[in-house]
Structure 1
Amino acid sequence: MAPRESTRTPRAVLACGEIRTCLLPARQALDIRAAAQLLALRADGRTLTSERPGLYARSPDTLTGVDCPLPSANGARVRAVGTVAARAALTEGRVLQTSARFHLPATGPDQRRPWGEYLVRPGVVEPLGKLPHEAVAQGVLGGGRTGDLDAGLIAEGLLTRLLRHPLLDQRPPFRSRPTRLRWAALPAAPGEGPRLERFTLAEDELRTVRLRVPEDTPAAGLAALCEDLALHDWLLTTVVRMLDGVRLGTGAARDTGAVVRTLRPAVDHLLHLWMPRARVSPELAALWDPLEERPGFTRQWRTLVQRIRDQLTLHAIPAPHQEVDPVP
């Protein structure tokens, strides 16, 4: 029997989301069982765990009902109703991410439906009337206005909830800053494959990603791609900051100790996490290619890793004894 028209999932013309990435505030990385306990967001949902190619755990989706205007670059006030899907992931028991996502059809009804009809379509936000998808995509990436639909607030709320979990001792092994990645995916031209149109580093730890993807590309797959981009961008950003300001080459014992204390956490906790595309679907994996060509994520990472290892090796070599003239 065919589903009722009102409950059929409509074809999406825009998918959007936002991701928070941060260091887990715990002295020790969580093992896979503790990670599953941390991410047990729903009693009726199962936390997915994996040990290959590295320890990884992902929560079940949670849904937040929304009824508010959509952000729009041209000032249009389009009301939308539906649910935003959010989830959390933990990589190697050390890097925590929360993300929220939704997708929108080209048109919706003129009046709001009963809530039950939105709940059976998780992650779908339906406009009342026609969707100006290009203007909304620009509005989402630009941040919108107060009161507009904001996936970032939902991701932030989930992050705040997880950071208060009793499993966490609030003693991270080093200082770092969280990052935000905001993304929007528009339809590709007929016959074209997925394409990364723009990756931007903005102020206040914000990154924006604009994509073009074929029809019916799952929003969950797009979210996984963007979570992967966000994870590796956070790793690069964090290691760059570790190296920034370290006093290299002075040779003083006190400076040697400071360099080792600053750089060793990178070796202990971060360097083994670099695995781009490890959990990206094959049809979207090619979207990493532009970032490998320019600015060259992996090339920069390898350079940073080599600098860290060189510095730690250099500071492990005892300084040559310096002769001094006796005091008369």
Structure 2
Amino acid sequence: MAAPRQQDTTPPAVLACGEVRTCLLPTRQALDIRSAAALLALRADERVLLSERPNLYARSPDTLTGVDCPLPSANGARVRAVGTVAARAALTEGRVLQTSAYARMPATGPDQRRPWGHYLVRPGMVEPLGKLPHEAVAQGVLDGGRPGDLDVGLIADGLLTRLLRHPLLDHSPPLRSRPTRLRWVALPAEGDEGPSIERFTLAADELRTVRLRVPGGTPSADIAGLCDDLALHDWLLTTVVRLLDGISLGAPPARRRPVAAPQRPAVVTALRPAVDHLLHLWMPRARVAKELAPLWEALEESPGFTRQWRTLVQRIRDQLTLHAIASVHREVEPAS
């Protein structure tokens, strides 16, 4: 007879937190689905999740990192916590790489540290020693904490560094871009209220912060999935905005004498990588849990993610059209 399974007496989580790193995969060509699986094979005992609908997507199995450290706190409280932080990586259309680390925390924990076996059977949970001042810790996480405090961003960054050393990568990206960081916390919603975004901010050094309210019992992996999706589309917006800001749009092309092999206009050269590698990636909520998908409606209302994206895409297409017309005009223009 099998031994009875030990009942988990851990209180429900009152705080989840995480951080996402998003960057352009440093390769000239996007990876196919098999290469993506090879890149994200972080564990030999578990397969990479692969999907071709509605777009090409690969996600690594979770890895666990043990932590034993103080928690960041906005009011200066020093609360020690022990447990494991889950981390994973994802690749969208073989082109955009993301790493994320996240954990959940209960309202109370044991008065003293327990053997590691206790924590290993609770993956992705970090337990405080005593009571958790969850509001203060949530703000402390968003503020960044002090050296030595729990920093899930360091875990996400370490995983990203590991993946960027993979021999599959040729480190010749088709366009210039910067990585972004999205730091998030999720607290319980009041009563029977649904999920909501309390605050979304753009901070310095490519940092974004998000404070969420979610119904009790919402899996932290689902919250992390929502934030991965938000980070992906924020990165796309940021990258295309900077691409357009970095070139002179609307400037008339310089008149040149005919040459044997006409050169492509600088604007076309600058914009083509966006068309080839980025514009088809916009697909909000493609892999967000159904219960959390309504949060995208708030983002569409303000600041209006998709509205801004469509405007950017139209600007790119208009510029390419104008330069194509100008190129045809120059070809048929009679010699003076």
Task: Calculate the TM-score normalised by the size of structure 2.
Answer: 0.93
Query: In the alignment, does 2:290 pair up with 1:290?
Result: no
Deviation at 1:251, TM superposition (A): 1.5
Match of 1:15 in 2: 16
Amino acid at match of 2:108: T
Does the CA-based 8 Å contact 1:194-1:211 persist in structure 2?
A: yes
Which structure 2 residues correspond to residues 117-156 of structure 1 after superposition, within 5 A?
117-156=118-157
1:259: which partner in 2? 267
Question: Which residues of 2 match residues 39-118 of structure 1 at below 5 A?
Answer: 39-118=40-119
RMSD of aligned residue pairs (Cα, Å):
1.7
Q: How does 1:220-231 map to 2 (within 5 A)?
A: 220-231=221-232
CA–CA distance in structure 2, aligned partners of residues 50 and 323 of structure 1: 54
Q: Is residue 176 of structure 1 aligned with residue 177 of structure 2?
A: yes
CA distance in 1, matches of 2:11, 2:315: 51
Deviation at 1:253, TM superposition (A): 4.1
* Aligned residue number for residue 205 of structure 2: 204
Q: What is the rounded CA distance, in whole Å, between the counterparts of 2:152 and 2:267 in structure 1?
A: 39
C-alpha separation in 1, matches of 2:11 and 2:162: 32
Aligned match for 1:278, one of 271, 286, 308: 286
Deviation at 1:10, TM superposition (A): 3.5
2-structure distance, mates of 1:42, 1:129: 34
Instruction: Report the CA distance between 1:48 and its aligned residue.
Output: 0.2
Q: SS in structure 1 opposite 2:193?
A: coil
Counterpart CA distance in 2 for 1:19 and 1:253 is: 44
The runs of 5 or more residues in structure 1 that have no matched partner are none
Distance 1:8 1:87 in 2: 27
What is residue 260 of structure 2 aligned with on the other side?
none
SS at 2:192 equivalent: coil
Query: Partner of 1:4 in structure 2?
Result: 6
Query: Match of 2:41, SS?
Result: coil
The separation in 1 between residues aligned to 2:94 and 2:251, in whole angstroms, is 36
Is 1:37 the counterpart of 2:38? The answer is: yes
Check conservation: 2:104, 2:124, Cα contact below 8 A. yes
> In the aligned structure 2, how far is the partner of 1:174 from the partner of 1:81?
42
Measure how far apart 1:257 and its partner are: 1.6
Task: State the secondary structure of the residue aligned to 2:100.
Answer: strand
Measure, in 1, the Cα distance between the counterparts of 2:53 and 2:9.
36
Q: Distance in 1 between matches of 2:89 and 2:188?
A: 26
Match of 1:209, SS state, is strand
Q: Which one of 325, 333, 336 corresponds to residue 317 of structure 1?
A: 325
Q: Aligned partners of 2:186, 2:287: CA distance in 1, in Å?
A: 19
2:258 aligned residue: none
Q: 1:308 aligns with which of 294, 316, 327?
A: 316
Counterpart-to-counterpart distance in 2, 1:245 and 1:174: 12
Moved more, 312-321 or 146-155: 312-321
Quote the Cα distance in structure 2 between the aligned partners of 1:9 and 1:172: 46
Supply the distance in 2 between the matched residues of 1:13 and 1:256 (Cα, whole angstroms): 57
Contact 1:58 1:89 in 2 (8 A): yes
Partners of 1:9 and 1:121 within 8 A in 2: no
In structure 2, what residue type is equivalent to 1:116?
A: G
Letter in 2 for 1:297: F
Deviation string, structure 1 residues 179-209 (Cα, Å, up to 9, x no partner): 0000000011111111111111111100000
Distance 1:275 1:135 in 2: 35
Contact 2:10–2:109 (CA<8 Å) still a contact in 1?
A: no
Contact 2:99 2:159 (C-alpha < 8 Å) held by counterparts: yes
Structure 1 residues 231-289: Cα deviation after superposition (integer angstroms, max 9, x where no partner): 00000000000100311222124997211111111100000000000000110000111
Distance in structure 2 (CA, Å) of the matches to 1:145 and 1:264: 43
Q: CA deviation at 1:3?
A: 4.1
Where 1:21 maps in the other structure, the secondary structure is strand
Secondary structure of residue in 1 paired with 2:86: strand
1: CA distance between counterparts of 2:144 and 2:265? 43
1:24·1:96 contact (CA, 8 Å) conserved in 2?
yes
- Which residue identity is paired with 1:151? V
- Structure 2 stretches of 5 or more lacking a match? 256-262
